[in-house]
Structure 1
Amino acid sequence: MKIKLFTDTDLDGLGCAIVAKLAFGDDVEVTHCSYRNLNQRVEHFLQNEDNKNIKLYITDLAVNEQVEKKLNERYHHGGHVQMIDHHVTALHFNQYPWGFVQPEYDNGKKTCATSLLFEHFVENQQLEQTPALVEFVDLVRQYDTWEWDENDNILAKHLNDLFFMFGREQFEEDLLKRLKENPDLFQLTDMENMLMDVEEKKIERYIYAKNKQIVQRFVGKYCIGIVHAEQYLSELGNALNKKNPHLDMIVLVNVGTKKVGFRTIHDEVNVAQFAKELGGGGHPKASGCDLNEETFKLFVTDVFHLEPIKPDPEKNEVNVKDALHGTYYENRNGEISFIKKNNMGKYILVHQGRLQEVQFKTFEEAEKYVKRTYQSWLQFDRDMNKYHKN
């Protein structure tokens, strides 16, 4: 029987395609989609009478309400439908016998579409698991859920880097061949490892440059950092969040693909819900939406006049964070903020020579307030002689 798979365009989507092709071989036809074109393509498939007897799988993406109803009609008329996803914004599909959405396993580990589809095929005896395939699937899962960063599993990151370096078709062909010919072990070649060393240095330079281009603004209760970016989006979003922890999230605008990505490192911030309000979806810490008239105005037009925030100096020796003598901050208006721990163990804030009423339990809380309120940066040692004392 013929198989049709609609899946995402990222590494997780590629993983779903590889798992399906290992299970069904030439019988499977894969269409990689985004949220922007998924509904149109699935609806077109459903309208074609020739597709009535084709097994339909949709992974890593969720259709809209209109297509959702048509999928349910197809199922109740005897047609095959299997939707598998791991995004919390798609949990409502679990109400259908053809829907399966599981954001995490019982042990607390996060899932991905590739791992869920792989397990589905294995459980239904449609695919034989091998050590190499199990390793590959978990590498995709670790990268997609960002677990690799916690585990320092650089192989998962390199897998994604190679995916973008070689392109989907070439990389898929290489992976299928590798998984079939070497079922007992999954590893990169010496050439691929050398390429990854070069790529790591490129990514470092890219992150350094983009950190100087962040524009800061509030959207509702969230203080966000906006930057235009076209590559290394996951690595960039994670790195910029770590470099700017006072921001609730990093917004990655890609005009070329007409997409907006949202990344956060804060447990109390749910960017999936933020994206959903803008017509998108995703994970609590990594999500996205389309770049349309509304989001273009919000993230481009309305902030076009703003100056980027300035990164903190990395080589200060005198004006360092949480210094016993206090720490100075400066913004583009030349305003000076001073944070110091008082005799009561609280952190006080002096702004423009005036003691502020607000006090903080930790230095991090005080710095966060200064950066969010005044868009300030740690004053450079070389500029300290401009100001004597508050």
Structure 2
Amino acid sequence: MSEMLVFVDVIVAPNAKAAAAMDRGGTQQQQYGQLSTLLRVHDALSRALAKIRLSFHSSSTAAQVQRIQGKTVGLLSAREAKVGEATWSTLEHIRTRVLESIEDGVVDSSDSQISIHMATRSVTRHISFLRSHYSPVNAILSEAASLGKYVPQIGVVGDLFPLNSMIVELASCLEEKLVNISKSFPDQAVGFLFLLNNLNFIRERLLFLFLLNNSDFIRGSPQTYSSLDVHVAALFDKVEGYIESYLLVSWAPVLSCLFNPTPLCFGKRHYSPLPKFESEFQKTYTTQKLWKVPDPQLRKMLREAIIEKITPVYRKYIEDNNVTVPKFTPQELQEMLQELFEG
């Protein structure tokens, strides 16, 4: 017993100074290594306490045994509380640094910087760590919440996990920052693609982690959802909404060329809007072919949305106006759109 208590003190002592070490340049890997050690020790102490209490839970237990049990439980409880405090402090310090990385994150508002932002990677990496240590972290958060050290900001009826709230809070803070960054791009279409790349990345990471750890969530009925469920569902809607916004600012103007001919000039009685459409289409295609959408599924969704918006209208115009030799056939146009976003 004494050796174990000494071991716990040795583990807690350096971690009590971990925050200062982190500020002096400790790597993110070192930070998570320190937190993992504390979580394992705290979990081991909690399990040991539960077993000791269960082993001696009997009214017929001798008084001497009860005294020994009481002393053992008291010693272990004190160490558990000590490790719990160190774990909470380390967790809070890492969370603070992750939030600071969101605020400090900058982006070059050029077309080449529309992929996954460094703040997105930092936050999703932190969320992945929290989910991989879900039960012990949630136990620490529950204790912190009971003491008023942590107040969950987000929750739904039936969601009993404060860690769900912390994850959603982190994701929401990141998303707000990403929206602000998207407004710095001179081209609105670039800004919407930046948002799509990053929100889709967050959505996929949360969905992946959620599916791998489905048993961690309470589901009293099909109508009972956690705050994480609600947030992931909202991200689906946001991605679809930003696809519509992207189409509106990027491809709707191209399509409008077929219906808004320029005024007659130079004595021409019959003006065809087709050359203008072909020119704008070629320009937009050439530019966006170089833009990067790294996720294959999102890339497919975008291409299909563009094809669905452009091709039927273009085909109808060709047929209605008896255009026999267009610059692009509808099939060629569709094949070109399948080449977009390769970077």
Q: TM-score by structure 1 length?
A: 0.23
- Larger fraction in strand: 1
Name which structure has the greater RCO, CA cutoff 8 Å, separation 6+: 2
Rg comparison, structure with higher value: 2
